[in-house]
Structure 1
């Protein structure tokens, strides 16, 4: 198995070759991630006879969906894509009927058009057309649930692999619906019924612009950091409805077990893992873990990190915007006795990764920092 974590700025774009020539694509980062890294790789794979069996769009957020939208906008896909997993508006609906005038209102006021001013932007509408593109392209959509909402806990066979969907759960989906209803109430549209394309756009735009539901860990990296003391910081869970809707899953294939957490809430993951594997069997062994929400401590709780044992930890972020990953997250991983000389893989050279390479941190803790090359990081299991 080979896992590529591409440079995706503060987002995610992960390509997994789970068996030879068969791939799972998890999110697409921003447009420049697609153009500079993902597209050339997909062309190379296609030329060698490979296919993307599943595209997993974990949730509605610019740093996850923008590159996927760019991929689906192609007249001809650069590679064969068999199916897509993504929870769009039709999977989380509020009843509303609107006139053409109200549709125009929703499109212009909820899904406001903006000018493209930087490479992160994906289009004049900031990436609120993913559902429409999936429908137009006729892609097989959420096949494990027969087109319904992808949510845990379910297990699904994908060739020789098994995928266990851990998140979102029913409560997470309800929170997204509540968030959307509040926006409709604000604009006086809740008592009216929805139509399709306008509301796909408005729904996606609304969620992609949700304010962060996590604590900003303002910090300065210094060699004076005490990892034991840092891990004592109080945990405050993320309450973002959008992040809570993130599709997170376990991939099991050829005796390997990988945990891909998207931006999911730690509480949902803990509940699903205990249900899936049995609390008495904790800590649960994984061959690799992609940390939730770029290593945010609000999405990687002490409880979650306590019930996992793993030697390979993947961190996808350039540290922009919210200064992820958070040191308490890394401190819990490094000092956890369940982890045997853990390796922390970064897809960007960050101040914190460089700091943790200093010998002072390794006197009492056995761990390794793996820095990226120009194309991000690749690990083979």
Structure 2
């Protein structure tokens, strides 16, 4: 099918990520990209319907092995739907992929299950590991500039994964912006609080190993950050020649890790120029509530802001987010910063 305009969906993936991109190559032929699969519910309630009329996916990317990114893909490969879809290439980094028993646990007991499913259902698929060694990958006019992970981080992921004997990933007890004291502070005041992540990169290896990249289609550009760490992305952007005087200019930014407090720094935002930011979350889980009010503040008051209105998009209804995490943005917040918030899935 011929196409001359890119459209993409940040599907309502519950507390996960699932992104479907319909773009085109140099000959204006369809070029479809699926980034992550969200939770198992994401496949049942969103992804399955979007894929029912698709017969070919040019590139499938599993950014990392957290359950809210991989579970929907396991559901896809276990379904009959995959029998009607051919996949050209798959990117994923893992020594052994995981079988997810539910949406909160990562089991190592059936580590080869997804990989075996892929090889069974898509025997001719090309499987590639991805790191910043690849730098730029061009597929018929669709360009990917790889920003994460570095080879060192990928190797550390493999070391930790192979050394692990845990049956499930330890649940972190984190404090995010559901706290009432942050709700009472203005966004401008919150934006001034220095970035101070509660974990180091190696202590957050699953997120640190995320495949993050700049996607340059023939008509638009998107920065897709998965659950990556801002320290890694900032360093990669600088190594690609971007800085505060010459920032990366993109049409859209998919913010890292559902708007978590620990994954978007002032430094990173100072290297990016965009008027459109997207946060993928339904409010999170009982122990991980997203988005962080501090992250929203940093986006609105970042140093690269222009006079244009800034758009922050959510892939779930804002009122539903408020029901889960409280009044994380209020009417008073819109009185400064020249910004709007909107719930939207297709762009």
State whether structure 2 residue 298 is matched by structure 1 residue 332. Answer: yes
**Which residue of 295, 298, 313 maps to 1:345?**
313
Q: Describe the shift of the 1:112–1:65 C-alpha distance in structure 2 as closer, same or farther (beyond 3 A).
A: closer
Residue 123 of structure 2: aligned partner: 138
**Which residue of 249, 252, 263 maps to 1:299?**
263
User: 1:84–1:139: 8 Å Cα contact kept in structure 2?
Assistant: no
Residue 52 of structure 1: aligned partner: 57
State whether structure 2 residue 195 is matched by structure 1 residue 231. Answer: no
Residue 103 of structure 1: aligned partner: none
**Which residue of 226, 229, 251 maps to 1:262?**
226
- Residues 128-172 of structure 1: per-residue CA shift (max 9 Å, x gap): 622222233325334xxxx4x310142111222111111100231
For residues 299 and 223 of structure 1, the distance between their equivalents in structure 2, rounded to whole angstroms, comes to 19
Residue 101 of structure 1: aligned partner: none
Residue 31 of structure 2: aligned partner: 22
User: TM-score, with normalisation over the residues of structure 1?
Assistant: 0.75
**Which residue of 83, 107, 113 maps to 1:129?**
113
Q: Describe the shift of the 1:302–1:353 C-alpha distance in structure 2 as closer, same or farther (beyond 3 A).
A: farther
1:133-212 aligned within 5 A: 133-136=117-120, 137-142=122-127, 147=128, 149-153=129-133, 154-183=135-164, 209-212=169-172
User: 2:265–2:298: 8 Å Cα contact kept in structure 1?
Assistant: no
Which 10-residue stretch deviates more, 119-128 or 171-180?
A: 119-128
Question: Which structure's CA Rg is the greater one?
Answer: 1
For residues 304 and 124 of structure 1, the distance between their equivalents in structure 2, rounded to whole angstroms, comes to 34
State whether structure 2 residue 76 is matched by structure 1 residue 67. Answer: no
State whether structure 2 residue 340 is matched by structure 1 residue 368. Answer: yes
State whether structure 2 residue 6 is matched by structure 1 residue 8. Answer: no
Q: Describe the shift of the 1:161–1:14 C-alpha distance in structure 2 as closer, same or farther (beyond 3 A).
A: same
User: 2:178–2:328: 8 Å Cα contact kept in structure 1?
Assistant: no
- Residues 71-129 of structure 1: per-residue CA shift (max 9 Å, x gap): 112344343321111112169xxxxxxxxxxxxxxxxxxx8996x6xx77899978862
Unmatched 5+ residue regions in structure 2? 1-5
Instruction: Return the offset for 1:266.
Output: 0.9
State whether structure 2 residue 98 is matched by structure 1 residue 80. Answer: no
State whether structure 2 residue 47 is matched by structure 1 residue 38. Answer: yes
Instruction: Return the offset for 1:361.
Output: 1.7
User: TM-score, with normalisation over the residues of structure 2?
Assistant: 0.82
Which 10-residue stretch deviates more, 228-237 or 254-263?
A: 228-237
Q: Describe the shift of the 1:172–1:113 C-alpha distance in structure 2 as closer, same or farther (beyond 3 A).
A: closer
User: 1:227–1:331: 8 Å Cα contact kept in structure 2?
Assistant: yes
Instruction: Return the offset for 1:283.
Output: 2.0
User: 2:71–2:100: 8 Å Cα contact kept in structure 1?
Assistant: no
Instruction: Return the offset for 1:331.
Output: 0.3
